[in-house]
Amino acid sequence: MKSIELNATLTERIDVNPELAIFKVRPEGKPIPDFVPGQYATLGLPDPKADPAKPKLIARAYSIASAPNERAGLEFVIVVVREGQLTPLLWELPVGGRIWLAPKCKGTFTMEELPPERDLLMVSTGTGIAPFISMLRAYRGQNRWRRLILVNGVRLPADLAYREELAAAAQAPDVRYLPFVTRDPSWDGLQGRVSRVLEDALYQELVGAPLTPEDCHVFLCGNPDMIAQMETALEARGFRPHSKRSPGNIHVEKYW
């Protein structure tokens, strides 16, 4: 019988709300895997329902929220899916508990091919904010953008992960933090879906500049329906999807 090697440790957990938490994971006996902001790592735990003679690993990919120079561990922001396979097990894992971490980080949702001194509009729903946190932590103060506009859409204010960190980062003149809330009429900030940010007058008011394909790259991470809606609206404005073979200014990571 081949056992599953759990090769990492949960070193810290920060509960944002009962359904949302930040997990910090460190490999055992090895350095943190190298990665580029925007990439993901895969976490896993043994399937408790599997035949002990045939152990099974339940694994899922999660975008990394930490910056590459944070060498104490990798950070993830995860929402529990009660009917899911992995996240209910993660919610039961105590700090100090062991977990499986893939040896390599992967993904092409990065800023590596971007020209400098552009406006970057980064739009996310829920935990799709994670890769943008990594990018912000890694690149601020390095002239990698002219303006960085971070949009995060959630149902309730309590779902806003990294709210205080992002609000503090937005004190810098080149960073904007725009949280949108859909289900709390008492919220005194931006209401509605994140697609509202594309409204010309609202964008100009919030950012202080127009949204144009000549001067801006857009990153979309989160709900596939949001991404499809935003892609259609952006392409109508002259933006083009990005790929290695055909460079454009719409960058996508579907997070479901």
Domain with CATH 2.40.30.10 in the chain: 8-101
* Predicted confidence (pLDDT) per residue in 102-139, tens digit: 999 999 999 998 988 899 999 999 999 999 999 999 99
* Predicted confidence (pLDDT) per residue in 165-185, tens digit: 999 999 999 999 999 999 999
Kindly state the tokens that stand for 83: 């009917």
Topology given in CATH for the domain delimited by 119-254: Rossmann fold (3.40.50)
With a cut of 80, say whether residue 255 has pLDDT above it: no
Kindly state the average pLDDT of the residues 77-82: 96
Per CATH, domain 8-101 is 2.40.30.10:
yes
* Predicted confidence (pLDDT) per residue in 45-61, tens digit: 999 999 988 999 999 99
16's enclosing H/E stretch is strand 8-17
pLDDT of 254: 81
Q: Closest Cα partner for 6 from 34, 23, 22, 26?
A: 26
Share of the chain above pLDDT 70, in %: 98
Domain with CATH 3.40.50.80 in the chain: 119-254
Q: What is the value of pTM for the model shown?
A: 0.96
pLDDT of 1: 38
pLDDT of 256: 63
The DSSP call for residue 188 is: -
Spatial separation of the C-alpha atoms in residues 29 and 48, rounded to whole Å? 26
224 or 244, which is more confident? 224
